[in-house]
């Protein structure tokens, strides 16, 4: 039996943190939806059928981890996925985006 070599030069902390954040079903749904189009908070919570406060808490965590970014358009803030590793992970799970949140 051959021995597996682990790449010691890679830092897996960031990747592990992304996977932890995506481990919650609500956050995974949000990211899957935001990959196909940017959305404001109201559209996200309406599509998910969750209270606005719940969605805002999840968005805040995703934003703090550098996974999404909010861009202001007038009085609304539209969120989009800005982390390429997160995008790659979610697309690997669900395939290419075909629908919104």
pTM for the model stands at 0.82
Q: Give 78's strand partners.
A: 40, 71
Using the predicted structure, report yes or no on whether residue 3 has a pLDDT greater than 80.
no
Tell me the three state secondary structure of residue 77: strand
- What is the rounded distance in angstroms from the CA atom of residue 2 to the CA atom of residue 33? 42
The CATH number assigned to the domain with range 13-94 reads 1.10.10.10
- 20-53 pLDDT per residue, tens: 999 999 999 999 999 989 999 999 999 999 999 9
Contacts of 25 (CB under 8 A, 6+ apart): none
Exposure of 100 in the CB half-sphere (CA atoms within 13 A): 11
Distance, C-alpha 13 to centroid of its chain: 17
Every domain of the chain and the residues it spans = 13-94
DSSP 38: -
């Amino acid at each position: 039996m051959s021995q597996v070599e682990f790449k010691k030069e890679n830092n897996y902390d960031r990747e592990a943190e992304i996977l932890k954040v995506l481990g919650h079903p609500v956050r995974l749904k949000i990211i899957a939806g935001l990959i196909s189009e940017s959305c404001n908070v109201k559209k996200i919570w309406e599509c998910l059928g969750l209270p606005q406060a719940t969605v805002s808490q999840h968005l805040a965590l995703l934003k703090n981890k550098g996974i999404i970014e909010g861009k202001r358009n007038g009085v609304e803030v539209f969120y989009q996925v800005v982390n390429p590793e997160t995008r790659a992970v979610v697309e690997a799970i669900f395939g290419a985006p075909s629908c919104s949140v």
